[in-house]
Amino acid sequence: MLAIKTCCITGHREIPAGRISQVRQKLRQQVLQAVEDGYTHYISGFADGADLLFASVIAELKKENGNLSLEAAIPYRKRLASPDAAFRKMIRECDMINIHSEKYSPPCYMKRNREMVQASQRVIAVYDGREKGGTCSTMRYAHSQQKELVIINI
């Protein structure tokens, strides 16, 4: 039996409005490449921006390919109560929901990000060049763990 190959996303919450369709198209291209490379399990942190775009691409492709699965990596339990319509729609598309902390605390996002990287062989990053913040930290961690890192520059 072959091991399941897993790919996760890291990226910014704020994507300029004029770049959203381009980022979505590039995410789709990278996911299609991942599927071609044998990846079947995809993890999204379900934050606004890149995470939800990634989840929507996976949800769309799952309709064509029943071998694909989507996991929501939720940083803390109360995040599941988000009233955001895009979040609610995408969470229903998930095959698995993994809650990384019971309660909110400042490090819960980094804990979630590290666990996503640890569970993955490939990390797709939607990155705007900032040298601080969660996306940059997650990219550095992926590099330190010798994970394959694919960068979509915005």
How far apart are the C-alpha atoms of 25 and 132, rounded to whole Å?
Answer: 26
How far is residue 105 from each of residues 12, 77, 84, 108, measured CA to CA in Å?
20, 11, 21, 5
Residue 79 resides in a domain = yes
Would residue 1 count as lying in a domain? no
In a domain, 86, yes or no: yes
Give the range of the structural domain holding residue 107, as residue numbers without chain letter.
6-153
Q: Is residue 83 part of a domain?
A: yes
Q: Tell me, what's the pLDDT at 3? A: 80
Return the pLDDT at 100: 95
Q: How many domains does the chain have?
A: 1
Structural domain contains residue 102: yes
The verdict on residue 72 lying in a domain is yes
The residue type at 150? V
Using the structure block, give the residue that is written with the tokens 């989507």: 70
The pLDDT score that the predictor gives to residue 1 is 54
pLDDT in single tens digits along all 154 residues of the chain: 568 999 999 999 999 999 999 999 999 999 999 999 999 999 999 999 999 999 999 999 999 999 999 999 999 999 999 999 999 999 999 999 999 999 999 999 999 999 999 999 999 999 999 999 999 999 999 999 999 999 999 9
Query: Does any domain span residue 112?
Result: yes
Cα 88 to Cα 21, 52, 109: the distances in Å are: 21, 10, 19
- Does 148 fall in a domain? yes
Q: CATH number for the domain including 117?
A: 3.40.50.450
